[in-house]
Amino acid sequence: MPRSAYERSKGVETVTWREFPLGKGIALAILDEPTAAGRQLKGQRLLDVLDEAAGLPPCKLTVADRPQRHRTRGGRLELKTYGYYRIAWESAPQRGTIRIYNLTAIRQQVLAPKVFLETLLHEWVHHYDFTGLQLDRSLHTSGFFARIRDLAETLGVGFVAPPKREVAPVAMPADDVEIAGTDALRPGGVPPPQWIRDQVLALFGHRRT
């Protein structure tokens, strides 16, 4: 019996490369770039290197020079969106796109360099899950976060990735993923019960929706 997307995602902790990704210089240059246009240009270069090294279809980056989408309750920030990944799905996954917001939700300040780069790597791992691992869902499992750290360490920027951490027994659906079919757009995953969300938010802070 085929393993579920959850089991496969949890069981893979590294990214498999066809050739070593020579992207360290680009990744470090991203940390010195504050503008949306510059981050989009350098970020796209890094994505191109990663896609080619892993043998994946192209993934397009858009960096929006606007505040993160967010929601408040009682005057306090309740939820914010760092960025999201969208995959066009026909007979096979293809035409991946990443969108990242360059300004913070409330103060509208430029997103910290480490946060921007970690977000970019986070969203690219969703691209890897669909087009490399051929998963039909990309879940926020312990394996998913291990792949982010492995990617960051491969690029020589492990310091931008969060420390190794445990996730809740039930993996959080990747709310920062959208799957576009030929006829309709549907969110990637069904939201879990609120108590599970509360546990995950306590561990990770604000989610990337």
The answer to whether residue 42 is domain-embedded is yes
The answer to whether residue 209 is domain-embedded is no
pLDDT tens digit at each of 209 positions of the chain: 357 889 999 999 999 999 999 999 999 999 999 999 999 999 999 999 999 999 999 999 999 999 887 666 676 655 678 889 998 876 566 679 999 999 988 788 999 999 999 999 999 999 999 999 999 889 999 999 999 999 999 999 999 997 775 555 555 666 678 776 533 333 333 344 444 444 444 444 544 54
Task: Report how many domains make up the chain.
Answer: 1
80 sits in the region (left: phi over 0; alpha: psi -120 to 50; else beta) called beta
pTM attached to this predicted model: 0.80
Model pLDDT for residues 66-79, shown as the tens digit of each residue: 988 766 667 665 56
* Pair of tokens at residue 30: 């991203």
Residue written as token pair 């609120």? 194
Structural domain including 88 reads: 5-204
The answer to whether residue 12 is domain-embedded is yes
Mode of pairing for the β-strands spanning 83-89 and 93-103:
antiparallel
Residue written as token pair 């921007």? 116
Which strand (E) or helix (H) includes residue 114? helix 113-131
The answer to whether residue 112 is domain-embedded is yes
Nearest-angstrom CA–CA distance, 77 and 84: 19
The answer to whether residue 108 is domain-embedded is yes
The answer to whether residue 110 is domain-embedded is yes
Q: At what angle do helices 113-131 and 142-154 cross, to 10 degrees?
A: 120
Model pLDDT for residues 147-186, shown as the tens digit of each residue: 999 999 999 999 999 777 555 555 566 667 877 653 333 3
